Amino acid sequence: MNATIVTIGDEILIGQITDTNSGYIAKALDHIGIDVHEMLSVSDDRAHILETFSRLQDKCDFVLITGGLGPTKDDITKKTLCEYFDDTLVQDNSVLAHVEALFARITGRVAPLLQTNIDQALVPSKSQVLFNHFGTAPGMWLQKGKTVFVSMPGVPYEMKGIIDNVLIPKIVSEFRRPYIIHRTLMTYGVGESMLANMIAAWEDNLPPFIKLAYLPSPGRVRLRLSARGSNKAILENELISQISQLQQLIGDVIVGFEETESLEVVLGRELSKRNLSVSTAESCTGGKIAQVITSVPGASAYFKGSVVAYSKDVKINLLGISREVIKENSVVSAVVATAMAENVKNLLGTDYGIGVTGNAGPATDDTPEEVGVVFIAVSGLAGTVVSRFEFGQPREKVIDRCVVKALEILKDEILKADKTPYTVFTPFYKQ
């Protein structure tokens, strides 16, 4: 079975808001074995909407629509649906009662509703109402030929409520679908092309019902295995077998499964298991390493704090790095990164300290290093390691790569902490 997702609203087409609904809907449909063939955004224009509906008719099993169900005059989806289905609007009393109760709860009193609020209870007579527990505009289910049209509000939390609590359970109970099982492996420290070369022979021998996708992002590559078929047990067993083969080939760069683990989750587990703690001193990343670490529930057990030493004065006055060291070596240097890591570790009393300084761009800020150059230091039980990286441009890419690489180095240092203390400087590493 397949679907097309249609978002309605001029605000999307002019870039005023970002469409997050389509991704959420697509993921929900994928989980129940429905392929999304298209995602479309159309204007608040009757002719445009009708043309879109007509084009998709009998081409899709499902057309899922969000937007245009509000109480204002530019919300024309219901009227356009009536025109397309040769239907009329009728009042749904259960929806009206819900709208009245909702406004009474919000205002703390029972009062007459505005006509625009009453009109929220109007639905096409041929539709099945999909109840919206989080707002006033209900979802609607209509069918023409082989195609089911589902209209939902564009407000994300209202749409999600209908998807999760009403629509998906309804589809599951009424339609037979294939099984689709995804397993996504998280890899770090190796680029997409190198990774593809390492597993080329394995990939060539995948069974036809399993597809592999490479999903690169700064500093990491996700490998998504997707199995599709009618026998769930066969799919699961084959995925286990293929993942086992992958682990033999590239086990040293696999961190875990995206469905259950990310690098920050793995780090948290390793730190907690060893009863260790970490702190960060960040310059060019502006606290983003700390943000990623603390995105994991329970991170307070091992993360003590961060110093965002964006200015030279903070490095001097708060982290205790001497002005002479900065003047002699430059603020973007291995020496300063090392001092940041070691000093924040001592300042906050943690087992590990991360220090990051660099030129994220677009200007070099009077340092000798080029834009994109970053020094990352990790100080811990096995000593201090510091490396120089060239992450290129733009600024966002530099910051994201820096965060991933810092966490990756920390993970490596934790795992080899039983070795003799050492200080290593890797003079050049281009990524």
Residues of the chain with pLDDT under 50: 419-431
Long-range contacts of the stretch 286-292 (C-beta < 8 A, 24+): 286/310, 286/399, 288/399, 288/403, 289/354, 289/356, 289/402, 289/403, 289/406, 289/407, 292/264, 292/403, 292/407
| CATH number (domain holding residue 199) | 3.30.70.2860
Single out the residue in 240, 257, 274 at which a domain terminates.
257
Examine the domain organization and report whether 118 and 183 are in the same domain.
Answer: no
Q: What pLDDT, on the 0 to 100 scale, is given for residue 260?
A: 62
Which residue among 174, 209, 239 closes a domain? 174
Of 112, 139, 174, which closes a domain? 174
Whether residues 321 and 415 share a domain: the answer is: yes
Q: 389 and 293, same structural domain?
A: yes
**pTM check: above 0.75:** no
Same domain, 95 and 191: no
Identity (one letter) of the amino acid at 362? Answer: P
Judge if 406 and 379 occupy the same domain. Answer: yes
Same domain, 130 and 219: no
Give the count of domains, the chain: 3
Specify whether the CB–CB gap between 88 and 125 falls below 8 A: yes
Q: Are 268 and 253 within one domain?
A: no
What is the pLDDT, as a whole number, of residue 418?
A: 59
What's the CATH code of the domain at 109?
3.40.980.10
Residue-number span of the structural domain to which 228 is assigned:
179-257
Check residue 209 and give its pLDDT.
95
Whether 357 and 418 share a structural domain:
yes
Residues 274 and 417 grouped into a single domain: yes
Do 211 and 348 lie in a common domain? no
pLDDT at 164: 96
